[in-house]
Amino acid sequence: MGSMSDQASPASPEFVAAIDSLERQLSVLWRGARANSHRVARQVHPDMEPAAYGLLAILQREESMRLTDLAANIGVGKPSVSRQVAMLEQLGLVHKQADPVDGRAQSISLTQAGRERLTAAQLARKNAFRQRLGDWPVQDLDALAALLDRLNQAYANEPPLH
């Protein structure tokens, strides 16, 4: 992005002000994203918790996973994921079956209803992005995505919360 010569020192007033501005804007974004997550989760199922949406999206991408791998994938403890999976199973969105590699373990995957409801919610979410960002130039969208990816990578090595 920028060269070393145009980077301010982390102790400089410019850097401190930029971090303060970033923190304020991310707080606003996270509040909005949290509210949107509630709406999207309710579209999948009225009783689904917002945190479970991410689990469904991972299972959609991976097709099936063990609980331990699912927990590692999202960076939270196994007990937390276990509770979410139990709730999703109760709602008929996921099911467990014996793992084909290790019969002692269970593999979790989306049910047909889970797949359909998740796809419908994702379509609604993409339509909401189109409405909010429809007047943005593609270059701005690409730049924002690249910067968010860079920020996500900076957080990627943090240990999971338990």
Residue-by-residue DSSP string for 17-84: HHHHHHHHHHHHHHHHHHHHHHHHHHHH-TT--TTHHHHHHHHHHHSEEEHHHHHHHHTB-HHHHHHH
- Domain-wise residue ranges, the chain: 11-155
pLDDT the model gives residue 162: 53
| pLDDT for residue 25 is more than 60 | yes
160: confidence class by pLDDT, cuts 50, 70, 90 = low
Of the candidates 133, 123, 55, 122, the one whose C-alpha atom is nearest the C-alpha of residue 94 is: 55
Q: Does the predicted TM-score (pTM) go above 0.85? A: no
- Classified by CATH at the fold level, domain 11-155 comes out as Arc Repressor Mutant, subunit A (1.10.10)
| pLDDT for residue 136 is more than 70 | yes
